């Protein structure tokens, strides 16, 4: 298995989707212990988790400035997303983006207990709710 830093636009899209859809106050993110009340903080959580995953897989890197530059570029990209643009992205594209990110960020043993995983989870839940026919489907009501 390989691991890499995802494109800055990948993290930007996920963070902007979660933040602009107000998903960070519900579900598994509703514990008031998180540290992402702004778009930049949301981006930082996701970017840092991806960096930590790469470091976990290949050993810590000592290039702290490169990490900071990566996070800054992710923030810059996220600030370029506007809510209207996010609404035009097909849900299947968002779902695939979430899966790509999660695969690249899952190396640390605590990933599934992390803020990054919680952000991914609430985004996935929102995308499922947007599927055609979801509201009228049989099952939990």
Distance CA 6, CA 131 (A): 26
Tens digit of each residue's pLDDT (9 = 90 or more) over 57-87: 998 777 889 999 999 999 999 998 876 677 7
Dihedral sign for Cα 132, 137, 140, 141, please.
Answer: positive
List the one residue out of 70, 18, 22, 25 whose CA is nearest residue 44.
70
DSSP 81: -
Distance CA 18, CA 45 (A): 12
Helices (H), 83-135: 83-87, 91-105, 115-129
Domain residue ranges in the chain: 8-129
Q: What are the structure tokens assigned to 83, written together?
A: 């809510």
Q: Is the pLDDT higher at 98 or at 28?
A: 98
Q: What is the pTM of this model?
A: 0.89
Q: What are phi and psi of 135, to 5 degrees?
A: -65, -30
Distance CA 4, CA 1 (A): 10
Tens digit of each residue's pLDDT (9 = 90 or more) over 98-130: 999 999 999 999 999 999 999 999 999 999 988
């Amino acid at each position: 298995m390989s691991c890499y830093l995802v494109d800055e636009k990948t993290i930007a899209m996920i963070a902007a989707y979660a933040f602009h859809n107000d998903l960070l106050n519900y579900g598994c993110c509703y514990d008031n212990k998180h540290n992402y009340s702004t778009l930049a903080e949301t981006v930082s959580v996701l970017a840092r988790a991806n960096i930590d995953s790469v470091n976990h897989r290949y050993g810590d890197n000592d290039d702290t400035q490169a990490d900071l530059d990566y996070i800054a570029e992710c923030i810059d990209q996220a600030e370029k997303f506007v809510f209207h643009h996010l609404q035009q992205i097909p849900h299947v594209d968002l779902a695939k983006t979430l899966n790509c990110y999660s695969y690249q960020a899952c190396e640390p043993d605590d990933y599934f207990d992390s803020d990054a995983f919680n952000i991914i989870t609430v985004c996935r839940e929102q995308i499922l709710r947007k599927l055609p026919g979801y509201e009228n489907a049989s099952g939990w009501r």
